Amino acid sequence: MHESLSFTIASKILHGFLTYRELFNTYTRLTPAYFRQRNWQAIQVNHRQRLRLYKDLLFPLAKNCIEILNEKNSDREIWKRIKVEYSELITERTDLELAETFFNSVIRKTFPGLSVDEELMFVMESYNSCKIQNNEHLFHSYPASMGLNRIIRQILEDYDFGAPFMNKEQDVKFLVETVKKVILSRYKIAPETTTQILKSVFYRNKAAYLIGRTYLGHKWMPFVIPMMHGVEGVFVDTLIFDPNLMSGMFSFTRSYFMVEAEIPSEIVSFLSSVIPQKKIHEIYNAIGFNKHGKTIFYRDFLHHLDQSKDEFIIAPGIKGMVMTVFTLPSFNIVIKLIKDHFEPPKEMTRLEVRGKYKLVSLHDRVGRMADTHEFEYFRIPKNRINPDLLKELRNTANSLLEFTDTHLIIKHLYTERKMIPLNIFLETCTTEHGLSVSEDYGRAILQLGKANIFPGDMMTKNFGVTRQKRVIFYDYDEIEFLTDMNFRAKPKAETYEQIYAPEPWYLIAKNDVFPEDFKRWMIGRSDLKDHFLAYHTELFDPKHWQEIQEKIRKGELIHAFPYPEEIRFRPGQII
């Protein structure tokens, strides 16, 4: 009886996984057509549908498994057998790692209160199994013997976007000149020199990216060619060799790419060779397999725990009113728990805060909002928890804590990339770095606005600074859609009573925003403030925010370039 039941459940889980993969690929394959049509709204809708797909399939499947198992849904012996049956069913699959993660998701939603369990789940089975392979069917190859001009022309022929080029001859000229200036001025072409570009095109927002590498100077040199489809046709926007810019394109602050990946691990392997500074879990995230990225991240976390001895501590910075945040100093993440009670003036509920995080997970993060992983029943060894942190957790989020003899189990949390809080960075940085980062702080707020996100609480303590000195927003409990806000100029006081009134004498609605007030608290350092106010005058102008709102309401997708405007071949070119 148990064998029949276990096989039934294993088969159902596999069927759910196959449905997920089929629909995931269907959504992904729609993107080139939308790019060809310049249907940017459809691209956004399609992206959100693919993001929702995993959970849309997971919850009904878990409910069905519970119904079939009846009261046996927490029977360990049955689940051991289900895992064995499922392992046999997927053993020959080329996406084995994704299938294992899908199984883990199902059991976590079916078996009540289950923490990570090596007997019942695939915990470390595929750890470090993603090897770099030389799979020539993945890419187009261009030997140096073809000559630079012919290689560039052939690349533009091989990637047909189904629409005419705006000016192909000018694109060829731009690319040839850039290669000569940046690469051939430093390296000499050798007989073994060759160029490879992935056949799969990476789509995001209004752009299509070609990802490649050239073997030159006894090493592989990666590059990216961003393609745009403007009102006058398709064109090459720039050519990128800078590894920091390339890494930023696959950043934890950006939306996932829409890219066809028949065997995802092969794409991941190629990308790992192109941008080796990116961890494997980050690359899986970047190509849309964020659930498996979460699995690999957790395996990295377990591996790091085994290799380290430091304690989890309260995260540096000003304590938040909504979240309790802690970290392991030797590991590059912070862990965030929603508090049991919020201090005034916060009036939201825990469910509302979770809703804000879900909103961010489904929204275009435009390189300015940190991606998070959500975990339930997350285990931490008790002997690694600093006493001050344990006290803080008990005082602020006690309802989320469970204890065993050896572990603290946290019922719900978010993990996020560790950054230096902007307020702490500005306290100690040089004037030069402060000017640059404060400029980027303003840009971050404006770019979020163009993506229809109003951060709400824009204090510097709610932003972080990355290793590349890029400013990222990470406190989501007060975010709103920009189009829901009412940007106003402050009414001018005209009477004595109005001038000296202790409280505002005019009515203020909950969604009213007075941009001129931003000047008072955004940047406090005297050597930075005047420059910041002069550099970002539009931040304090209600009309500027209203103009952004109008564009969004008309359905315009305002593209966020993941590289500086000045490196575009045609700066200011309308897309």
Q: Domain of 469: which CATH number?
A: 1.10.510
- 9 versus 557: which is more confidently predicted? 9
Check pLDDT > 70 for residue 507: yes
480 and 444, same structural domain? yes
Query: What's the mean pLDDT in 29-51?
Result: 96
What percent of the chain stands above pLDDT 70? Answer: 98
Average pLDDT over residues 222-242: 97
369 and 475 together in one domain = no
Domain membership of residue 296 (yes or no) is no
Q: Which residues of 268-292 are buried (b: 16+ CB within 10 A; e: fewer)?
A: bbbbbebbeebbbbbbbbbbbbbbb
Q: pLDDT at residue 128 above 60?
A: no
Per-residue pLDDT band for 445 (boundaries 50, 70, 90) equals: very high
- pLDDT exceeds cutoff 60 at 130: no
Q: Summarize the confidence of residues 188-195 as an average pLDDT.
A: 92
CA distance 492 to 488: 12
Residue 295 lies in a domain: no
Question: Is 98 in contact with 265 (CB distance < 8 Å)?
Answer: no
pLDDT, residue 529, reads: 96
Residue 119 lies in a domain: no
| pLDDT confidence band for 2 (50 / 70 / 90) | low
Q: Given pLDDT bands bounded at 50, 70 and 90, which one contains residue 572?
A: confident
User: Which of the pair, 343 or 439, is modelled with greater confidence?
Assistant: 439
pLDDT for 337 beyond 90:
yes
Cis previous bond, 345, omega within 30 = yes
For residues 254-268, average pLDDT = 94
Residue 131: pLDDT above 80? Answer: no
242: containing domain:
136-289
Between these two residues, 57 and 71, which has the higher pLDDT value? 57
The first and second tokens of residue 411, run together, are: 């019922």
- Residue 501: per-residue pLDDT: 84
Give the pLDDT score at 132. Answer: 42
Look up 371 and say whether it is catalytic: yes
How many structural domains is the chain composed of? 4
pLDDT in tens, 91-125: 999 999 999 999 999 999 999 988 888 999 999 87
Name the domain boundary from 384, 418, 452: 418
Average pLDDT over residues 163-167: 97
Q: How far apart are CA 299 and CA 307, in angstroms?
A: 12
Q: Above pLDDT 90, what percent of the chain? A: 83
SS (H, E, C) 502-539: CCCCCCCCCCEECHHHHHHCCCCCHHHHHHHHHHCHHH
* 360 and 322 within one domain: yes
| Residue 398 confidence (pLDDT) above 50 | yes
Type of residue numbered 135: N
Are 356 and 462 within one domain?
no
Distance CA 28, CA 309 (A): 43
pLDDT of residue 3: 64
Q: Which of 95, 364, 371, 475 is catalytic?
A: 371
Answer whether residue 525 is part of any domain. Answer: yes
Q: Tens digits of per-residue pLDDT, 276-330?
A: 989 999 999 999 999 999 999 999 999 999 999 999 999 998 898 999 999 999 9
Q: What's the rounded Cα separation, in Å, for the pair 475 and 320?
A: 9
Residues 143 and 252 in one domain: yes
- Let me know: does 455 contact 478? Beta carbons within 8 Å: yes
The rounded distance, in Å, linking the Cα atoms of 491 and 504 is 10
pLDDT single digits (tens) 272-282: 988 998 999 99
- Orientation angle between helical segments 290-307 and 96-110, nearest 10 degrees: 90
Mean pLDDT of 13-28: 98
Mean pLDDT check: name the lowest of 19-23, 49-53, 249-253, 534-538. Answer: 249-253
Residue 89: predicted pLDDT: 97
45-49, 126-130, 455-459: segment of lowest average pLDDT: 126-130
Same domain, yes or no: 29 and 147: no
Please compute the mean of the pLDDT values over residues 203-211 and round it to a whole number.
96
Residue-level pLDDT at 364? 87
- Model pLDDT, residue 241: 95
Q: Quick one: pLDDT band at residue 566, thresholds 50, 70, 90?
A: very high
Do 469 and 533 sit in the same domain of this protein? yes
Say whether pLDDT at 129 is over 70: no
Instruction: Give the model confidence (pLDDT) of 347-388 as tens digits.
Output: 889 999 999 999 999 888 989 999 999 999 999 999 999 999
Same domain for 433 and 532, yes or no, is yes
Do 407 and 437 belong to one domain?
no
Same structural domain, 309 and 400: yes
Residue that is last in its domain, among 418, 449, 483: 418
> Residue 127 pLDDT > 80, yes or no?
no
Asked if residue 338 belongs to a domain, the reply is yes
With a CB cutoff of 8 Å and minimum separation 6, the contacts of 349 are none
Is the domain of 454 the same as that of 413?
A: no
Q: Is residue 379 part of a domain?
A: yes
Q: In angstroms, rounded to a whole number, what is the distance separating the alpha carbons of residues 81 and 100?
A: 15
Over residues 540-548, the mean pLDDT reads 97
Instruction: Give the chain's mean pLDDT.
Output: 93
Contacts of 63 (CB under 8 A, 6+ apart): none
Q: Are residues 323 and 407 in the same domain?
A: yes
Contact indicator for 259, 202 with CB cutoff of 8 Å: yes
Is the confidence at residue 527, as pLDDT, over 90? yes
